[in-house]
Amino acid sequence: MSFGSFVSGLFKSSSIPAIDHENFEKACKEGMCHVIDVREPHEFAMGHIAAAKNLPLSKFDASLLPKDLPVVLVCQAGSRSARALQQAHAVGRTDVVHYAGGTSGWIGRGGSVER
């Protein structure tokens, strides 16, 4: 999967750009994106998607998001990552989406987490 096809595959017809589970899983395995978990540090410490970095919504600054690869935002169930996504888009970041299933959805689909 090329960088361009990955980015174009992120955006669905939804008003809130999201990535589906299969594409997210593949992107994680292939190192095609940065995963930013916007939960609070104590939640992150209880278990997070491998390679995720923690940038809590309570201190979220879209200018701190990495710029070398697309970014996928996650939280517990999709609400906070959608709010962070709005902030990222407000500053012009078009390469940022969220995983609406959140960490709960990831685990529910058999995904592993690190502590």
Provide the pLDDT for residue 10: 53
pTM of the model: 0.88
Q: Is residue 81 part of a domain?
A: yes
Domain span at 51: 17-110
Q: How many domains does the chain have?
A: 1
| CATH number assigned to the domain comprising residue 39 | 3.40.250.10
Q: Is residue 26 part of a domain?
A: yes
Provide the pLDDT for residue 20: 93
> Taking Cα atoms as reference points, which of 87, 86, 84, 80 lies closest to residue 104?
80
Ramachandran area for residue 13 (φ above 0: left; ψ -120 to 50: alpha; else beta): alpha
* CA Rg value for the chain: 13
Q: What is the pLDDT of residues 26-64, one digit of tens each?
A: 999 999 999 999 999 999 999 999 999 999 999 999 999
- Amino acid symbol at 109: R
Q: What is the pLDDT of residues 61-115, one digit of tens each?
A: 999 999 999 999 999 999 999 999 999 999 999 999 999 999 999 999 999 999 9
Q: From residue 79, how far is each of 1, 26, 86, 100 by CA, in Å?
A: 29, 23, 11, 8
Provide the pLDDT for residue 16: 80
Provide the pLDDT for residue 12: 46
Q: Is residue 46 part of a domain?
A: yes
- Side-chain-side CA neighbours of 63 within 13 Å: the count stands at 0
Q: Is residue 2 part of a domain?
A: no
Q: Do the strands 48-49 and 113-114 form a parallel or antiparallel pair, or are they unpaired?
A: antiparallel
Q: Is residue 74 part of a domain?
A: yes
